[in-house]
Structure formats: structure tokens, C-alpha cells
Amino acid sequence: MGTRLAELGIPPGPPERLVLDPDGQTTLRAVHRGYVEAGAELILTDTFGGNPIRLEAHGLAERADEINRRAAEIAREAAGPEILVAGSMGPTGALMEPLGSLTPVTAAAAFERQAAALAAGGVDVLWIETMSDLEEVRAAVEGARRGAPGLPVVATLSFGARVATVMGVRPEQAARVLLELGVAAAGANCGTGTPEAEAAIEAMHRVAPDLPLIGKPNAGVPRLEGGTTVYPETPEDLGHAAGRMLDAGARIVGVCCGGSPAHVRAIADALAARTDEG
């Protein structure tokens, strides 16, 4: 969502603010529709930064409930009844103890509040993503379950260089913890791009062969070209990567930062071709 809004010329700032005004809502509906029309079977709400702790940095914490609920409603309107709406829950942006001052209790309470508002807005699943700290993942899963007891919860981590998160978590470790937490699905998103996501899925699949895995990498590592951020991997690249992620054990595939509707279309086409082949 963040990179797509930038691509469409929306001025920088927290993407969640768009939920609060009519023009922003129109933009969000159009973005969601673009992905649905490209063949997405699941879309994410504009709430990646919608955790109240993260919204605090933008002076929006008091509107956290409204932002998350409305964002879910907007995605649902665009998705219709057939397409799944996943409530995006990104990191708080604060460091957990002992490196920082965020306690598991405070973190879980913030995720609980976000999850409850997303559920009130009608999401089908809570989608914890771009995580790098397993203690924050635990707090997010706990909060999500308390805030929305009836909904499935999935969690993905962001693996970068040497297929570890910035906090040094390896995919094998992540898979063990996520198995223990009993999430509905787990995997890799964002990070540095498709090779790391493929490697992470392979590693997670070895540890947790029965856990449904998610591969949702960025379209490569962005570079700055003449003042604009460019993601190097083409739709065709992502279509090929989707096939490789399935071979590595993924059951849900998509694209994160830099993924346009054309990337989603290429992934959908690649999957349809495989289904045709049986």
C-alpha cells in the first residue's frame, strides 16, 4: 500500500491518514480495486502502521479505533464478498525490552486494540507482517487473539541479508515459535526480495512441513533513480518467483513493497497456468 500510494503521487506521510478523509478513501478504494481486478484473492487493509503505538508518532493514536475500523470497511467495500480481506498489523516501531522500553504487556494491549477495530470493520483474518522480533510476534499474536477471538491469525517476518531478520532471527527459529503459537499460516514478507523469501520458505517448510506458508516478498531492493524509488523486479520476475515459492512449500503467494497490479496479475497468471497443468 505504501509504495503503491507513492507511485500514484500521493504525498509522503502515514498512509493511514487517508482513511480519515473522503478523497483519501476514494484513493484507497481505487488501489484495492486495482489489485482485485488484477486477480488478487486476498487484499490487505491500509493499516500496516495502524498500531496505536506507531500512530502516536503522527499524533493519530486517539483515532486508532476509527482508522482501523474504517480501513477494514473500505477494503471490504472494494473486495466484495468473494475476496478475502486481511487486516494488516505491522510492527509498533518501538523496540521491545531489553533493547528498548516496550514491554510485552503494553505491546499486546496495543495489538489487541488494533485487532478489535479491524474485526469490527469486517476483516476475515488478522495479518501480522514485516516482523523482525519474535517477542513482538508473540505479543501481536496474543493481542490479536484477545481482540478478535473468532478470527484466524497469520504472521510473517521480514528476512533480509543472510536470510535473517534485522534482529537476527532465522526462519527455522521463527517457524518453531510460530508452530508453538498455533498460527493459521506463517511465512516471509517484505525483506530484500524474492531470493531471501524463497530461502526462508524452504527453511520454514523443513521445520514445519504441515504449516501453511506465505511468501510475499518485495519486488527486489529499491534504488533511487532521478529522485524516484524504483523496484527492480518486473511482473514477470514475480510470476516466476511465485512458482519457485510454491515449489519451496508456500501455499499463499503475493507481493509486498513495489508490487503493482501488474505484478499481481503476473502472479495470478503463473498460478492459473500451474493449476491448468494440474
Answer yes or no whether residue 219 interacts with Zn ion by CB under 5 A: no
Residue 164: CB minimum distance to Zn ion, A:
17
Contact indicator for 60, 70 with CB cutoff of 8 Å: no
Rounded to 10 degrees, the C-alpha dihedral 65/57/74/28 comes to: 170
Residue 16: CB minimum distance to Zn ion, A:
16
- Please identify which residue in 108, 148, 157, 190 interacts with Zn ion, judged by CB under 5 A: 190
Answer yes or no whether residue 131 interacts with Zn ion by CB under 5 A: no
Give residue for cell 476475515: 124
Mode of pairing for the β-strands spanning 223-225 and 228-230: antiparallel
| Choices 5-13, 66-74, 106-114, 217-225 (CB under 5 A): range interacting with Zn ion | 217-225
Residue 102: CB minimum distance to Zn ion, A:
22
Residue 196: CB minimum distance to Zn ion, A:
12
Helix (H, G, I), strand (E, B) or coil at 196: helix
- Please identify which residue in 218, 241, 254, 265 interacts with Zn ion, judged by CB under 5 A: 218
- Please identify which residue in 144, 169, 203, 257 interacts with Zn ion, judged by CB under 5 A: 257
Task: For the chain, report the end-to-end CA distance as a whole number of angstroms.
Answer: 33
| Choices 35-43, 183-191, 246-254, 264-272 (CB under 5 A): range interacting with Zn ion | 183-191
Residue 60: CB minimum distance to Zn ion, A:
21
Helix (H, G, I), strand (E, B) or coil at 46: coil
Answer yes or no whether residue 255 interacts with Zn ion by CB under 5 A: no
Taking residues 93 to 112 in sequence order and writing x for each that binds Zn ion by CB under 5 A, - otherwise, the string is: --------------------
Q: Which is nearer to Zn ion, 24 or 259 (CB)?
A: 259
Q: Is the bond preceding residue 98 a cis peptide, omega within 30 degrees?
A: yes
Answer yes or no whether residue 194 interacts with Zn ion by CB under 5 A: no
| Choices 88-96, 105-113, 147-155, 185-193 (CB under 5 A): range interacting with Zn ion | 185-193
C-alpha cell of residue 41 = 484473492
CA distance 155 to 128: 4
Answer yes or no whether residue 256 interacts with Zn ion by CB under 5 A: yes
CA distance 8 to 266: 20
Q: Which is nearer to Zn ion, 108 or 257 (CB)?
A: 257
C-alpha cell of residue 53 = 503505538
Residue 44: CB minimum distance to Zn ion, A:
11
* 136-169: b (≥16 Cβ within 10 Å) or e: bbbbbbbbbbebbeebebbbbbbbbeebbbebeb
CA distance 197 to 200: 5
Contact indicator for 233, 215 with CB cutoff of 8 Å: no
The footprint of Zn ion (CB under 5 A) covers: 190, 218, 256-257
